[in-house]
């Protein structure tokens, strides 16, 4: 789930100069703040505008004023430096560093650390960047010296990141996302490109709902891009916390496993006992637990939340505990149910996705378990673009008033 930014990161010194002017309002005040000359600030801003191809500031005798594009980009550069400072605060001892790293971190440090993080080794990073390995060592070791914290460790594959180095890289990646999004917003405002929404989707999430939202949104914004990545929760959370995924749609953990994540509930989606259509159990209007005793199960693997629920139900209802088929594949589970009299456990909304309702039935029997809620998981401090915010608004609006799915027909 770790990937490189979609835009090349502009020079951090130029971003720093722009951020200072955006906050201070004048070139001279920004120069004083950064302890550089005013001509140096002016030159850095001109180079930044040339690099990204847009006017960010209007200069006059009364000061420097942000253009419309500059206002939006200043919001992103401000968040970039907030992330950068938070990254350093998390691992740097200010008493030993004298507060210098935040002022001395450059794009070469960020680019080198991210390359090592993405490639998982110096050797792979050097190959990806097209440089000799010793060339990569210099900025990497310089960064380690600046933060006065061991960022690297030796493994069987050579040098790779220490836990502190990996965490610093993750936070650097989040910082870079702000600049990537800022550049995307500028491009979109000029009609040059569309904003992208990258959504992580859990395997049992009701994807038909997303399909309806995507269809409606792209009808009004045909040049937009929506990327949907399916994966397990732990995999998607890695992408979410490193900025390669904007939000996760699916069952909430309540609470999320990390303090920097937030959850928004959309609707309850309880588990139901499922079987093929035409199964003998579907002839019973309201089957009792005892009616299930003659049937074997298709078990979820032990790593899945459903497995703990099913094990508890089997023990409480004294059902068959025999494990003959165990799978983490939704497709395999459905196929096994369709060709046999086995039964299994699935969220009710999952039955209505991908035409499964034509093949499976949900028995009208309540499964005791902790409340299961479908919703959105995002970074707590995420600032969505207008397009991303509209996408989420439409997802919220697509939830029906009677959100808990109906029991399937017994036919």
pLDDT in tens, 294-304: 899 999 999 89
Q: Does 391 lie in the same domain as 327?
A: no
Structural domain span for residue 205? 194-267+377-397
The pLDDT-based confidence of 353 (bands split at 50, 70, 90) is: low
pLDDT digits (tens, 9 = 90+) for 215-237: 999 888 888 889 999 999 999 99
Q: What percent of the chain has pLDDT over 90?
A: 70
Would 342 be classed as within a structural domain?
Answer: yes
Q: Does 60 lie in the same domain as 135?
A: yes
Q: Does 35 lie in the same domain as 152?
A: yes
Rounded Cα distance, 152 and 285, in Å: 63
Rounded Cα distance, 356 and 318, in Å: 29
Q: Which of 6-15, 251-260, 310-319, 325-334 has the lowest mean pLDDT?
A: 6-15
pTM: 0.88
Q: Does 357 lie in the same domain as 386?
A: no
Residue range 230-253: mean pLDDT, rounded = 96
Query: Residue 319 sits in a domain of what CATH number?
Result: 3.40.190.10
Q: Does 160 lie in the same domain as 72?
A: yes
Q: What pLDDT, on the 0 to 100 scale, is given for residue 410? A: 34
pLDDT greater at residue 279 or residue 356: 279
Q: Find the angle CA(98)-CA(104)-CA(105) to the nearest 5 degrees.
A: 120
Q: What pLDDT, on the 0 to 100 scale, is given for residue 407? A: 39
Would 76 be classed as within a structural domain?
Answer: yes
Would 181 be classed as within a structural domain?
Answer: no
Would 205 be classed as within a structural domain?
Answer: yes
Distances (CA, A) of 110 to 33, 64, 102, 161, 367: 23, 29, 12, 14, 50
Q: Does 146 lie in the same domain as 31?
A: yes
Rounded Cα distance, 37 and 32, in Å: 8
Rounded Cα distance, 119 and 125, in Å: 5
What token pair was written down for 365?
A: 């029997």
Q: Does 381 lie in the same domain as 358?
A: no
Query: Residue 22 sits in a domain of what CATH number?
Result: 1.10.10.10
pLDDT digits (tens, 9 = 90+) for 30-41: 999 999 999 999
Rounded Cα distance, 209 and 121, in Å: 40
Q: Does 282 lie in the same domain as 316?
A: yes
Domain boundary among 116, 137, 172: 172
The pLDDT-based confidence of 94 (bands split at 50, 70, 90) is: low
The pLDDT-based confidence of 406 (bands split at 50, 70, 90) is: very low
Q: Does 165 lie in the same domain as 255?
A: no
- Count of structural domains, the chain: 3
Q: Does 161 lie in the same domain as 28?
A: yes
Q: Does 200 lie in the same domain as 87?
A: no
């Amino acid at each position: 789930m770790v990937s490189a930014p979609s835009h090349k990161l502009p020079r951090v010194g130029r971003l720093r100069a722009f951020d200072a002017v955006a906050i201070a309002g004048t070139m001279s005040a920004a120069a004083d703040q950064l302890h550089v000359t005013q001509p140096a600030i002016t030159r850095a801003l001109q180079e930044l505008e040339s690099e990204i191809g847009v006017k960010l500031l209007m200069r006059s005798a009364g000061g420097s004023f942000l253009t419309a594009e500059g206002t939006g980009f200043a919001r992103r550069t401000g968040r970039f430096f907030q992330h950068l400072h938070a990254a350093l605060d998390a691992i740097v001892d200010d008493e030993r560093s004298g507060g210098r790293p935040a002022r001395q971190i450059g794009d070469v440090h960020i680019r080198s650390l991210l390359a090592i993080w993405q490639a998982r080794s110096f050797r792979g990073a050097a190959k990806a960047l097209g440089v000799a390995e010793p060339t990569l060592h210099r900025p990497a070791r310089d960064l380690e010296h600046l933060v006065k914290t061991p960022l690297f460790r030796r493994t069987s594959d050579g040098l790779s990141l220490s836990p502190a180095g990996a965490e610093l890289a993750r936070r650097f990646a989040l910082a870079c996302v702000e600049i990537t999004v800022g550049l995307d917003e500028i491009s979109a405002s000029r009609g040059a490109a569309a904003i992208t929404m990258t959504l992580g989707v859990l395997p049992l999430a009701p994807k038909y709902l997303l399909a309806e939202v995507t269809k409606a949104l792209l009808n009004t914004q045909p040049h937009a891009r929506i990327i949907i990545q399916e994966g397990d929760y732990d995999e998607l959370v890695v992408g979410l916390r490193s900025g390669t995924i904007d939000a996760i749609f699916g069952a909430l953990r309540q609470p999320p496993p990390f303090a920097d994540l937030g959850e928004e509930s959309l609707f309850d989606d309880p588990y139901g006992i499922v079987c093929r259509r035409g199964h003998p159990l579907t002839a019973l209007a309201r089957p009792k637990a005892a009616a299930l005793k003659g049937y074997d199960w298709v078990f979820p693997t032990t790593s899945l939340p459903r497995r703990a629920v099913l094990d508890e139900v089997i023990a409480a209802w004294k059902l068959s505990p025999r494990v003959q088929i165990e799978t983490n594949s939704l497709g395999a589970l459905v196929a096994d149910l369709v060709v046999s009299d086995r039964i299994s456990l699935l969220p009710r909304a999952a039955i209505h996705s991908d035409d499964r309702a034509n093949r499976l039935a949900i028995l009208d029997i309540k499964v005791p378990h902790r409340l299961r809620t479908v919703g959105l998981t995002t970074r707590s401090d995420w600032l969505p673009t207008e397009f991303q915010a509209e996408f989420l608004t439409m997802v919220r609006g697509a939830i029906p008033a009677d959100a808990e799915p109906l029991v399937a027909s017994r036919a």
